[in-house]
Chain A
Amino acid sequence: MAGPNNGHPYGEREQGIWVRVHLFETLRGRVGRAQIEVTLQPGTTLEGLFHHMAAEVDEGFMDILVRPPGEPSICVVILNGRTLRFPRDLQRELEAGDELHLIPPIAGG
């Protein structure tokens, strides 16, 4: 399925879809990069992405992104420029070319 950013140099690749994830604050500190591109199976949900990142990128993501059922994420998650709401959007399926911003709570200021 074509995503909203299908003209970008990322998007559908071979068997999977690619999404771009921008990282901030402690997430950036953990990964050491400002953004990563993640390959996912078609039909992967946002919750699936969070589990994937915890497994493949840094297990610390589990603490930050995956909360017990019914509890909201403590990150601000922006998908293609719009803020997602939790837990409502956890089962939302990602599309090729999706762009996410994961923004942990600010530390002060």
Chain B
Amino acid sequence: MSGNWNKFLSVNLGTGEISIEEPGEELYRGFLGGYGLGARVIYSRQKPGVDPLGPDNTLGFTTGVLVGAPVVGATRFTVCGKSPLTGTWGDANSGGHFATALKKSGFDAIFFSGASDEPVFLYIEDGEVELRDAADLWGKDTVETEDALKEEFGQDTQVACIGPAGENLARIAAIIHDRGRAAGRSGLGTVMGSKRLKAIAVRGTLSVPLADEDRAKELRTTCMRVINADEGAARFRKYGTISHVASSTFSGDSPVKNWTGVGLEHFPTAEAISDDNVLKHEVKKYACYRCPIACGGVYRVESGPYAVDHSLKPEYETCAMFGSNLLNDNLESIIKANDICNRYGLDTISTAATVAFAIECYENGLITKEDTGGLELAWGDHAAIVRLTEMIARREGVGDLLAEGSKIAGERIGGRASEYAVHAGGQELAAHDPRFAPTFAVNAVADATPGRHTQMGLSWFEMGAGMKGMDIPDLDKYAVEGKGELNARLLNVMNAVLSMGVCLFVYGSRVEVPMWPEIVQAVTGWDCSLEELERTGARIGAIRQAFNVREGVRVADVPISGRATGHPPLESGPLADVVIDMETRKRDLYKARGWDPETGWPLKETLVDLGLEDVAKDLYGGTE
């Protein structure tokens, strides 16, 4: 098989048993890798109703069909399983060098079941696999863990690990690689902690078999030429995602003051935490494996209370959530908070959102100075923000409760506290305001991973950018009608390309979408078309949704905070009076995907048409 090894690892952490499985080409062609292959494998292996933090939850680490091949941006690994934040399908992904190392070690994916009694890590080197004792690593932060494993196995070892937050089952824990690249969302670092799996360390030097290496390299050259000629790519190469912290604050794209404020009015100093001001702290560039854009950076704050050394750049989401959403224009404190989250292994989005929640609770007397151990919480108080972040990371004082995330913390505090938790289905919303691009809200509840912003679909076009090569008409983003078909099509494309292991910042905004089938064909030898990829994306979307249905989730009723949808609307600013009609938009999307417009269940005929007969049987009964 080309493009994949046709090998993945199954590791039972309860028994220590490790097996190598060869699932066959049909699985790869049908689901590609990433969260697609992860969803198919975990759906088949796992019974519904398992405790996300119990031994029966399967945790997948997957690469993708293009990872390890000479393809621009194919650098991402996906972590997936049932989310302890949402109780639904969960996935998260990260760039860096881990995905390539894993693929080049001779495996396409790893699936962990069970839970170990003692801390362990998995070591892989070119086809050899071993579970090892991690007692000496347990308690170390993610940087110390990586350093220790690189010291032991060599500096070319790639590590994905959890920090103390994941060990202590903070529900918003992330998996960290390369000192700060995070598979942050869905609480999957917490799942890793529940299994007492501290790390995966990989050395991989094997060459992934390719169907037509010359053609793949030729297409890579074409992609490089496109990227090098692109004005936006040049700017992205210089700044990365911090390019638009200020502009997103002023346009309304970024949330302000826990989603109640207006950037131009309440956070006019956003330039202090944006583009050139952030770059002042950049020591050198950081690139994921062979990425020609290299949007990352290594950061240092030399002295003062927020001194950090060799920390990765705080990305847009981190700057917005620890910045505009907290009215915090002290950049060094944001770099510090980012470093704390990376070292302890916390998702910066959920952590900062939970800090915002706590400040609003404090402001309204629902959290008191006694609760915080004397710490006064206020908007823009950067010292308090950094301190509270540390308390969450260590589960110290009120941080113990806040480490559960804002939804659970709100329910436990009671009163009006839940109003201040801005989430969808239990996961804190990322820093793209649906009142600016309404499809963010629809996809945050109608796609299978609640609260995610990377399931962009049509919102990419509503933000004015779009995917190159997709013929989508200009639309009034606030018009309700006619969006479902377009959104469904774009979600399908994204499901496919993301499942190949390709970076969001490369696949549609730089490289024309119709090139991807050509690239897949060169790597795998499959006679691939865009129509096939769209159908594959539909299959991936359907099985993730079916996972949730089988779990008993009322998928059409996944809630989203009213603040994000204009209930009540903002009274001033660029997004004044915007109210999003969620029900019509959701129904249109469900219908366009071949799902029941009222219940959100994938229809039986849709599942059968996509080759998911076993799933249709699970949901609707009858024979396969």
> Residues of A contacting B504 with CB < 8 Å?
108
Contact with A along B235-276 (1 / 0, CB 8 A): 110001111101110111100000000101100000100000
Query: Does B572 belong to the interface (CB within 8 Å)?
Result: yes
CA distance A72 to B231 in the complex (A): 21
Contact with A along B451-472 (1 / 0, CB 8 A): 0000000000001111000000
Query: Does A2 belong to the interface (CB within 8 Å)?
Result: no
Query: Does B295 belong to the interface (CB within 8 Å)?
Result: yes
Contact residues on B (Cβ < 8 Å of other chain), bracket = 35 or more
Query: Does B49 belong to the interface (CB within 8 Å)?
Result: no
CA distance A30 to B184 in the complex (A): 35
Chain A CB count within 10 A is highest, among B253, B463, B464, B504, for B464
Q: Pick the contact of B509 from A25, A34, A101, A107 — CB < 8 Å?
A: A107
Closest residue of chain A to B318 (Cβ to Cβ) is A109
The answer to whether A107 touches B235 (Cβ under 8 A) is: yes
> Residues of B contacting A107 with CB < 8 Å?
232-233, 235-236, 241, 243-244, 465, 505, 509
Within 63-80 of A, Cβ neighbours of B (below 8 Å) are at 71-72, 74-76, 78
The answer to whether B474 touches A72 (Cβ under 8 A) is: yes
The answer to whether A78 touches B264 (Cβ under 8 A) is: yes
CA distance A88 to B344 in the complex (A): 50
The answer to whether B252 touches A104 (Cβ under 8 A) is: no
The answer to whether A108 touches B463 (Cβ under 8 A) is: no
> Residues of A contacting B247 with CB < 8 Å?
24-25, 101, 103-104, 106
CA distance A32 to B464 in the complex (A): 23
Query: Does B574 belong to the interface (CB within 8 Å)?
Result: yes
A78-B574, A83-B575 are contacts. A109–B251 as well, Cβ < 8 Å?
Answer: no
Closest residue of chain A to B578 (Cβ to Cβ) is A83
> Residues of B contacting A13 with CB < 8 Å?
none
Query: Does B126 belong to the interface (CB within 8 Å)?
Result: no
Query: Does B107 belong to the interface (CB within 8 Å)?
Result: no
Q: How far is the CB of B577 from chain A (nearest CB, A)?
A: 10
Contact residues on A (Cβ < 8 Å of other chain), bracket = 20 to 34
The answer to whether A78 touches B464 (Cβ under 8 A) is: no
Within 14-67 of A, Cβ neighbours of B (below 8 Å) are at 22, 24-26, 29, 34
Secondary structure dominating the interface of A: loop
Q: How far is the CB of B329 from chain A (nearest CB, A)?
A: 16
The answer to whether A82 touches B243 (Cβ under 8 A) is: no
Q: How far is the CB of B259 from chain A (nearest CB, A)?
A: 17
The answer to whether A108 touches B250 (Cβ under 8 A) is: no
CA distance A101 to B248 in the complex (A): 11
Q: How far is the CB of A29 from chain B (nearest CB, A)?
A: 6
A104-B464, A108-B505 are contacts. A78–B251 as well, Cβ < 8 Å?
Answer: yes
The answer to whether A106 touches B250 (Cβ under 8 A) is: no
CA distance A108 to B246 in the complex (A): 14
Query: Does B146 belong to the interface (CB within 8 Å)?
Result: no
> Residues of A contacting B576 with CB < 8 Å?
82
Q: How far is the CB of B69 from chain A (nearest CB, A)?
A: 23
The answer to whether A76 touches B241 (Cβ under 8 A) is: no
The answer to whether B264 touches A25 (Cβ under 8 A) is: no
CA distance A25 to B316 in the complex (A): 14
Query: Does A105 belong to the interface (CB within 8 Å)?
Result: yes
A74-B464, A105-B463, A109-B241 are contacts. A34–B271 as well, Cβ < 8 Å?
Answer: yes
The answer to whether A26 touches B246 (Cβ under 8 A) is: no
Q: Pick the contact of A81 from B246, B253, B264 — CB < 8 Å?
A: B264
The answer to whether B464 touches A105 (Cβ under 8 A) is: yes
The answer to whether A81 touches B573 (Cβ under 8 A) is: yes
Q: How far is the CB of B435 from chain A (nearest CB, A)?
A: 10
The answer to whether B244 touches A101 (Cβ under 8 A) is: no
The answer to whether B244 touches A24 (Cβ under 8 A) is: yes
CA distance A104 to B295 in the complex (A): 19
> Residues of A contacting B246 with CB < 8 Å?
24
CA distance A75 to B505 in the complex (A): 20
Q: How far is the CB of B598 from chain A (nearest CB, A)?
A: 33
CA distance A91 to B55 in the complex (A): 64
Q: How far is the CB of B221 from chain A (nearest CB, A)?
A: 23
CA distance A22 to B574 in the complex (A): 15
CA distance A4 to B482 in the complex (A): 38
CA distance A106 to B252 in the complex (A): 12
A74-B464, A105-B463 are contacts. A81–B241 as well, Cβ < 8 Å?
Answer: no
Query: Does B332 belong to the interface (CB within 8 Å)?
Result: no
Within 314-359 of B, Cβ neighbours of A (below 8 Å) are at 315-317
The answer to whether B241 touches A105 (Cβ under 8 A) is: no
> Residues of A contacting B476 with CB < 8 Å?
72, 85
The answer to whether B574 touches A109 (Cβ under 8 A) is: no
The answer to whether A81 touches B464 (Cβ under 8 A) is: no
CA distance A78 to B253 in the complex (A): 13
> Residues of A contacting B242 with CB < 8 Å?
109
CA distance A13 to B523 in the complex (A): 64
Q: How far is the CB of A31 from chain B (nearest CB, A)?
A: 13
List 30 A-B residue pairs with CB atoms under 8 Å apart, sorted by A's residue number.
A22-B250, A24-B244, A24-B250, A25-B247, A26-B231, A26-B235, A34-B271, A71-B474, A74-B464, A78-B250, A81-B262, A81-B264, A82-B574, A82-B576, A83-B251, A83-B574, A83-B575, A104-B247, A105-B463, A106-B243, A106-B247, A106-B248, A106-B463, A106-B465, A107-B232, A107-B241, A107-B505, A108-B240, A108-B241, A109-B505
On A, residues with C-beta under 8 Å from B are 22, 24-26, 29, 34, 71-72, 74-76, 78, 81-83, 85, 101, 103-109
Which 8 residue pairs across A and B have the least CB separation, nearest first? A109-B241, A109-B316, A105-B464, A24-B247, A105-B465, A83-B574, A106-B244, A108-B505
* New A-B contacts (10) at CB < 8 Å, excluding given A29-B231, A83-B252: A34-B271, A72-B474, A76-B574, A78-B251, A101-B247, A101-B251, A103-B250, A105-B465, A107-B465, A109-B505
